[in-house]
Amino acid sequence: MAVVAMCAMTLAASAAQTAKAKIVIAATDNSTGTDNLYVVEDDAYSAAYDDGMDAMKIMNDGANAINLYAVLGGNNLQVCVTNDIANLPLTFKAASATSYTMTFSKVTGTVKLYDAVENTTTTLANNGTYTFNCAANATLADRFVINRPAPAAPGICHYGDVLQVTGSNGMTVQINNMDDTQAIAPVAITSDSQDIDISALTADTQYKVVWNSQTLIIRK
């Protein structure tokens, strides 16, 4: 457990800087059994085992022991740091036949939990919970999957004094006059949905919007 705790601390310090999404899941039988899973999505790491960040699962044992872990690249992980959490399977091992609760914390980004038995998808939030029933000594290897919404397709919509840019995180939008001179300073897109204020442009005038290897013509 000490190794897991140390990795989790390292994970938290690093993920605070660059993580796209992260979550801590605490599973409990509402009595004595409990286990924790740490998941981080970060472009700096890979879908393979990242030494020094990922931590292998050390199984809890005993009459009331429960176990929750992610499965990635053939590894059972208690600390899972990957560049893509889409369709990340979780395994849960029960002790007794009872109801179990997952409690979520440290949630950043949009993270979802899919339950294949109930065919439901739940958007996870800090202090949120998810309760399910399980038979004694059951191993649920394909019931729960961590997921996130698919990124929006790149697009630009013009609404009066606003350009709404979607699905273009990391791109730059240039707004030029029709003679290709710069109309306003280029705008770096830093989220999946971002509004650009174009109120400084001249009304009833055409401009070129250069973005995503395309040139669009708008009229202010």
pTM exceeds 0.75 for this model: no
**In a shared domain, residues 125 and 19:** yes
Q: In what order do the strands lie in the sheet with 193-197?
A: 155-159, 162-166, 193-197
Q: Which of 147, 166, 189 is the last residue of a domain?
A: 147
pLDDT of residue 209: 95
The reply to whether 135 and 30 lie within a common domain is yes
Same structural domain, 107 and 203:
no
Query: Where a domain ends, among 98, 127, 147?
Result: 147
Per-residue pLDDT, 18: 58
Q: Do residues 135 and 212 share a domain?
A: no
Write down the pLDDT at residue 8: 47
Domain count across the chain? 2
Q: Does residue 175 sit in the same domain as residue 92?
A: no
Distant-in-sequence, close-in-space partners of 200: CB < 8 Å, separation ≥ 6: 184
Asked if residue 140 and residue 80 are part of one domain, the reply reads yes
d(CA 48, CA 68) in angstroms, rounded, equals 19
Q: Tell me, what CATH number does 190's domain have?
A: 2.60.40
Claim to verify: residue 126 and residue 210 sit in the same structural domain: no
Final residue of a structural domain among 88, 112, 147: 147
Residues 132 and 167 in one domain: no
Specify whether the CB–CB gap between 134 and 117 falls below 8 A. no
Same domain for 122 and 160, yes or no, is: no
- The whole domain housing 135 covers 2-147
Side-chain half-sphere of 182: how many Cα atoms within 13 Å? Answer: 6
The tens-digit pLDDT sequence of the chain (220 residues) is 444 444 444 444 454 455 678 899 999 997 778 999 999 999 889 989 999 899 999 999 888 899 999 999 899 999 999 998 989 999 999 999 999 999 999 998 888 999 999 999 999 999 999 999 999 999 999 899 998 776 667 888 888 889 989 888 889 999 999 999 999 999 999 887 889 999 999 988 999 999 988 899 998 7
Dist. CA 23–CA 100, nearest whole Å? 18
